[in-house]
Amino acid sequence: MHELHAATRMVEIAALGERLSALRLCEAEAISAVRRSLERYGQLAAVTLFSERDGLQIIDGFKRVHAARALGWATLVARIDDVGAVDAKLRLRELHDRRGLTELEEAWLVRSLYREDRLPQPEIARRMQRHRSWVWRRLMLVEALDPLVQTDVRLGLIAARAAVAVSRLPRGNQQAASAVVVRRGLTFRQTESLVDDALGLTDPAAREALLVHRLDGPAITPPSVPRPSRAVRGEADWISGDIVRVRDIAARLEARLLATPLEVFAPAAAELLRDELARLSPVLRALDGVIAAVTRQAEAA
């Protein structure tokens, strides 16, 4: 366990708020790695908090808190910074100066300062020591990106870099493009290629048709790269691949929902997640019914 000193103290994990978690990505794989580290070495670094009227809020250490909760820990060592909400957000960026936030996390931070805290863009640029054009680009990125695609990122279905590439598309095409990336497991470069191909079509109907075709069509490879010869995949191969993907995604989503209650998100984000989960439930029930039916048929054959 982290050694206590004058600047730190033990805090109850259950009392910690996660309002700023909406500005961070917290992948299930990363939480698992932190959990293994806590089990093996104990807590090596204090979490960073700030105080608000309704209690202590986390600035840095979300993965440590989630992992400690999963392990059943009741307390963690923490340092409490004497800052307000705006400075806490800026402190979040400072604490990740070496490791760096993703481009999308920077965009969430800028939007929060601009929309929630009403800071003018020039003031954000000054306080973040960035050019005003950088602030504008980050704000335009998150404002242009479909909220459902941002939800896909938070759920770990699509990488942040891939989502940034998808943001170049018109909003009406972004959900379809994200679905292609998720289902096909596209890399960042393949996602960029998909977006370039879609943007090369000026007709919206043709662009939509391309994305529908790519959802179930052949693998995407750059035109300059010869397509390797390989056996044609049969329907059994496609079904097997989908089963593996659904199982992995379901396990990841279950872990995230258990580790992070919806109440920690901003009200708009929490409402969006509740709506999406409500729409997901009948889909999963229908799938479960189909699975039961086809397995019964196979057993009876």
pLDDT of 226 reads 46
Statement: the pTM of the whole predicted model exceeds 0.95: no
Residue 248: burial class (beta carbons within 10 Å; 0-12, 13-18, 19+): exposed
- DSSP code of residue 216: H
CA–CA distance, 180 with 8 (Å, rounded to integer): 47
Q: Tell whether 56 is covered by a domain.
A: yes
Give the structural domain span for 31: 1-94
Specify the residue for token string 């708020």. 17
| Strand order from edge to edge, sheet including 8-12 | 8-12, 75-81, 47-52, 55-60
Q: Does residue 158 belong to any structural domain of this protein?
A: yes
80 with 6, same domain?
Answer: yes
Per-residue confidence in pLDDT tens, the chain, 301 aa: 455 555 889 999 999 999 999 999 988 888 999 999 999 999 999 999 999 988 999 999 999 999 999 999 999 999 999 999 999 999 999 988 767 899 999 999 999 999 999 999 999 999 999 999 999 999 999 999 999 999 999 988 999 999 999 999 999 999 999 999 999 999 999 999 999 999 999 899 999 999 999 987 655 544 444 444 444 456 676 687 778 678 768 877 777 777 677 777 667 667 767 877 887 887 888 788 888 888 887 777 6
Residue 231 located in a structural domain: no
Instruction: Mark whether 19 and 6 lie in a shared domain.
Output: yes
90 and 111 part of one domain = no
| Residues found in the chain | 301
Total structural domains in the chain? 4
